[in-house]
Structure 1
Amino acid sequence: MVEIGTGTGVSGIHLLRGMRADGVLTTVDTEPDRLQLAREAYREAGFAANRSRVIPGRALDVLPRLTDGGYDLVFCDADRLEYVDYLDEALRLLRPGGLVCFEGAFARGRALDAAHQDPESLRLRELMRAVRDSPRLAPVLLPTDDGLLCAVRRK
């Protein structure tokens, strides 16, 4: 799995818990302090160091270096202005049947209201259209918390 936006490691722990015992989480974040917190959180949660790979850097610089078709899930919880670009990378990274997820798709309701024309709302609407219209994806928009946009890469 690939996680874009490590935070303090909370979502990474949940991703690791949902993986096979030999699965590896690759997590990318621009903040080295967050990556260190995540490493500590994974260790405290009982995960061996070889279960995660933490990579410092901007996602759009790191993702092109990852293996094409080598991942089952790409979870995005980072710069929403770059979500459309993350989608392009996810399509390359995912195996057929793999899942891409975008946290915060509603932007506290702004992305669902055409009256909001701020850059983040506009980019999230662009993302939703791109996912909806892609013949390579089977999408679902879940109304959890601030919205979770997911799509399976078709075979």
Structure 2
Amino acid sequence: MNKTTYTNMAKVWEFTEEHALGLENDVLRKARADAEAAGLPQGSAAQANLLRFITRTLNATSIISVGTGSIVEALQLVEGLGGAGQLTAVDSSARGITIIRSLFADFSDSVDNRTTLRAVNTSPTVFLPRLNAGTYDLIVVSGVASNYAPSFEQAANLLKAGGRIIFTDMSGSAFPDDDKPNAMRTLLTQVEDDERFEEALTPTGTGMLIAVKR
């Protein structure tokens, strides 16, 4: 591709992102503002909106969100659950978990929301091995580099057949973590080499790797 093509692609990304930001409701706008005010940078709006769409079209009822202050993504997953099911939020940031709990309560007060939230402030290495096998439709992983490999290590055990694990920020650019770009390249190779999964890499947001359990 030449320079003009890359410039046009950047314009498409910018339009998509601005459009997704415009679609965010008041709860999501407040979540984004509160999280960023607390020093927790939020990811791409288009990426979070795609996660909501995937959740809805999967008819998912049980999701694990592994992140570091990924507030907007967690709430979009709740939106995708359609007011039912369960979201398990695993966050290595205590501030992130506090904000998720607070905004989830606000969201539940404003709509008919019967979604169950289980929010824990710990690392995926500690928590994920404790969960029941074969009971989850979707796992979404974001945040610091150390969240990714442990989550994939547990994915085949935790997911139902046909379940998905989605890794965000595959470009390694959205979170200030010097180890992330190398970790993302290693992860991509690991997922592609794993015969238990079928995968696709997409440039949506800051890059998403979607893998389906066979």
TM-score (norm 2): 0.62
Tell me if structure 2 keeps the 8 A contact 1:9–1:39: no
More helix as a share of residues: 2
> Paired residue for 2:212?
152
* SS across alignment from 2:185: helix
Name which of 10, 15, 19 aligns with 2:81: 19
Residue pair 1:69, 1:93 contacting (<8 A) in 2 also: yes
Instruction: Output the CA distance in 2 between the equivalents of 1:17 and 1:6.
Output: 19
1:74 match: 139
Report how far residue 78 of structure 1 moved.
2.5
C-alpha distance in structure 1 between counterparts of 2:169 and 2:183, whole Å: 12
The partner residue of 1:92 within 132, 153, 157 is: 157
What runs of 5+ residues in structure 1 fail to find an aligned partner? Answer: 110-117
Whole-angstrom distance in 1 between the partners of 2:179 and 2:105 = 38
- Helix, strand or coil for the counterpart of 2:103? helix
**What residue identity is the alignment partner of 2:94?**
P
SS of equivalent to 2:95: helix
Q: Structure 1 residue 129 and structure 2 residue 194: aligned?
A: no
Contact 1:43 1:49 survives alignment (8 Å): no
Percent of pairs with identical residues: 29
Q: What secondary structure does 1:45 align onto?
A: helix
Q: CA deviation at 1:72?
A: 0.5
Letter of the 2:207 partner, please give it.
G
Q: Superposition pairs for residues 1-20 of structure 1, below 5 Å?
A: 1-5=63-67, 7=69, 9-20=71-82
Determine if contact 1:29/1:58 at 8 Å carries over to the other structure: yes
Tell me what 1:45 maps to.
107
The residue type equivalent to 2:123 in the other structure is R
**Which AA in structure 1 matches 2:98?**
Q
| Aligned CA distance change for structure 1 residues 82 and 12 (closer, same or farther; 3 Å) | closer
**Alignment correspondent of 1:113:** none
Aligned residue in 2 for 1:31: 93
Q: Is contact 2:90-2:120 (8 Å) kept?
A: yes
Which residue of the partner structure matches residue 114 of structure 1? none
Corresponding residue number in structure 2 for 1:115: none
Contact 2:91 2:97 in 1 (8 A): yes
Shift of 1:82: 4.2
Say which one has the larger Rg. 2
RMSD, aligned CA:
2.1
Separation of aligned partners in 1, 2:103 and 2:73: 10
How many pairs align? Answer: 146
Q: TM-score, normalised by structure 1?
A: 0.84
